[in-house]
Copies of this chain bind each other. A is one copy, B any other.
Amino acid sequence: MKRQERVRGGTGRALRADAERTEQAILEAAERVLGDNPAASMEQVAEAAGVARTTVHRRFATRDALITAMTARAIQQFDAAVKAARPDTAPPLVALYQGTANILRVKIGWGFALSRASSTDTEIARIQADVLATCDRLFRRAQESGVLRADADLAWVRRVYYALIHEAAAGRSDEDDTDALATLLVDTLLRGFGADGGHL
Residues of A within 8 A of B (CB): 38-39, 93, 146-149, 152, 156-157, 159-160, 162-164, 166-167, 171, 184, 188-196, 198-200
**In the complex, how many angstroms separate the beta carbon of A44 from the nearest chain B beta carbon?**
16
Given A160-B167, A163-B166, A171-B159, A189-B194 contact (CB < 8 Å): yes
Given A160-B164, A163-B163, A167-B163, A192-B195 contact (CB < 8 Å): no
Q: A193–B159 Cα gap in the complex (Å)?
A: 12
**In the complex, how many angstroms separate the beta carbon of A38 from the nearest chain B beta carbon?**
7
Choice from B149, B167, B171, B189 contacting A195 with Cβ under 8 Å:
B149
Given A152-B193, A194-B148, A195-B149, A188-B163 contact (CB < 8 Å): no
Q: A200–B195 Cα gap in the complex (Å)?
A: 12
Judge whether A193 and B199 touch: CB under 8 Å: no
Residues of B within 8 A of A152 (CB): 193
Residues of B within 8 A of A93 (CB): 199
Choice from B38, B147, B193 contacting A190 with Cβ under 8 Å:
B193
Judge whether B190 and A199 touch: CB under 8 Å: yes
Highest count of chain B CB atoms <10 Å: which of A146, A166, A167: A167
Judge whether B166 and A184 touch: CB under 8 Å: no
Q: What are 25 residue pairs bridging A and B, where the CB atoms are less than 8 Å apart in the complex? A: A38-B38, A39-B39, A93-B199, A146-B195, A147-B194, A147-B198, A149-B195, A149-B196, A152-B193, A157-B193, A159-B167, A159-B171, A160-B164, A160-B167, A160-B188, A162-B167, A163-B166, A163-B167, A189-B193, A190-B193, A191-B192, A191-B198, A192-B192, A196-B196, A196-B200
